[in-house]
Amino acid sequence: MLTGLDHLVVTVTDISRAVDFYSRVLGLDVRYRDAQRVDLMLGDTALRLHQTDTDIAPISATPTPGSLDLCLRCLLPLDEFQQHLDALGIEVELGPVARQGANGAIESVYLRDPDGNLLEICRPAR
């Protein structure tokens, strides 16, 4: 019946700050839909940014910056990704650690975006 995820809305306090982080730190492509909506592309799926003080409807019952816990797959080996984070001054909160992903064993590092959302960056376990 359902085939996948089209987009996921991320509530943020400042769209330009979020765009900078997700494009500079995570390498996501940015597509501006209009002044209030921006898509950060993950292949054919989007993280759609909504700023807390904008009037977009419909929205979730309690849109809250910092409430997201998201796992993203990485093409780079995690040690290379961590070197990239180190060069940008981005703190790794935890990892690398072994975890179970949607399709099997993964190795992950955890960090936070500017709004405090937890981002797990993973690779298939070796």
The catalytic residues are: 120
C-alpha to C-alpha distance for 25 and 113, rounded to whole angstroms:
9
C-alpha to C-alpha distance for 123 and 108, rounded to whole angstroms:
7
Question: Which distant-in-sequence residues (6+ apart) come within 8 Å of 47 by Cβ?
Answer: 7, 8, 10, 22, 28, 39, 40, 70
Q: Which of 39, 26, 42, 45 is nearest to 109 (CA)?
A: 26
Instruction: Calculate the CA dihedral of residues 38, 8, 46, 122 and round it to 10 degrees.
Output: 120
